[in-house]
């Protein structure tokens, strides 16, 4: 019997939002543990920032903050750390001097690739026990949910100026095709 205000565990476990958040939390913790053990010292937001900059050099801190879902202040801290570590460089925008455009250095690209190898291995481990067809179906279904949420956000006129154009990282299998 459920007491007033309490949430039954089966309600939590059957909730898509909770399942996605928990999977994200577990994935983030595991990736960060592995990058730390490998001496990379990168967090998931660091890796996401390097990914976005490798796909779209010259993004501003504000754009990166929106795409990585962190505050502009947090993104500035991330960019400062990445710059201090020699992974990126920031240069003033020629037309808007206060805007700093970031790009990945050669060293940053190498470190990012090391991080991707660790993440790819972890993702493979996370999907162990799933057949190739089940993996494809999982991605297909999540893609449908993403499409639905984007449609809803557009209908509700949510601020999406950069979200729809956000690059998506292709898996190793997609790269081989």
In the chain, where the domains are located = 16-126, 131-166
Main-chain dihedrals φ then ψ at residue 172, nearest 5 degrees: -60, -40
Class of domain 16-126: mainly alpha
14-46: per-residue pLDDT in tens?
Answer: 788 899 999 999 999 999 999 999 999 888 889
* Residue 174 confidence class, pLDDT cut points 50, 70, 90: very low
| Number of other CB atoms surrounding residue 124 within 10 Å | 12
Per-residue model confidence (pLDDT) at position 104: 97
Computed over every residue of the chain, the mean pLDDT equals: 85
Report strand pairing: 100-104 vs 59-60.
Answer: antiparallel
CA–CA dist 163, 145 (Å, integer): 15
DSSP code string of 31-77: HHHHHHHTT----HHHHHHHHHHHHSTTEEHHHHHHHHT--HHHHHH
Is-contact 88 50, C-beta < 8 A? Answer: yes
Statement: residue 85 has pLDDT above 50: yes
> Using an 8 Å Cβ cutoff, are 60 and 99 in contact?
yes
Question: For residues 118 and 102, what is the distance between their CA atoms, to the nearest angstrom?
Answer: 24
Can you name the residues that pair with 104 across neighbouring β-strands?
Answer: 88
Burial class (CB in 10 A: 0-12, 13-18, 19+), 29: exposed
pTM of the model: 0.73
Tokens of 164: 């729809």
What average pLDDT score do residues 156-166 get? 61
Residues in CB range of 15: below 8 A, 6 or more apart: none
pLDDT digits (tens, 9 = 90+) for 91-128: 998 998 789 999 999 999 999 999 999 999 999 999 99
């Amino acid at each position: 019997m459920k007491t007033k205000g309490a949430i039954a565990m089966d309600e939590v476990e059957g909730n898509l939002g909770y399942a996605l958040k928990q999977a994200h939390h577990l994935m983030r913790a595991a990736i960060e543990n592995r990058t730390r053990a490998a001496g990379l010292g990168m967090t998931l937001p660091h890796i996401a920032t390097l990914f976005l900059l490798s796909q779209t050099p010259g993004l501003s801190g504000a754009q990166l903050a929106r795409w990585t879902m962190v505050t502009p202040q947090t993104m500035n801290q991330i960019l400062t750390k990445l710059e201090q570590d020699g992974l990126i460089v920031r240069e003033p925008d020629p037309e808007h001097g206060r805007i700093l455009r970031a790009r990945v250095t050669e060293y940053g690209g190498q470190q990012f690739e090391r991080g991707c190898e660790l993440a790819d291995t972890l993702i493979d481990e996370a999907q162990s026990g799933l057949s190739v067809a089940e993996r494809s179906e999982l991605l297909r279904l999540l893609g449908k949910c993403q499409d639905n949420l984007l449609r809803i956000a557009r209908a509700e006129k949510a601020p999406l100026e950069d979200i729809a154009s956000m690059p998506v990282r292709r898996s190793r299998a997609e790269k081989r095709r």
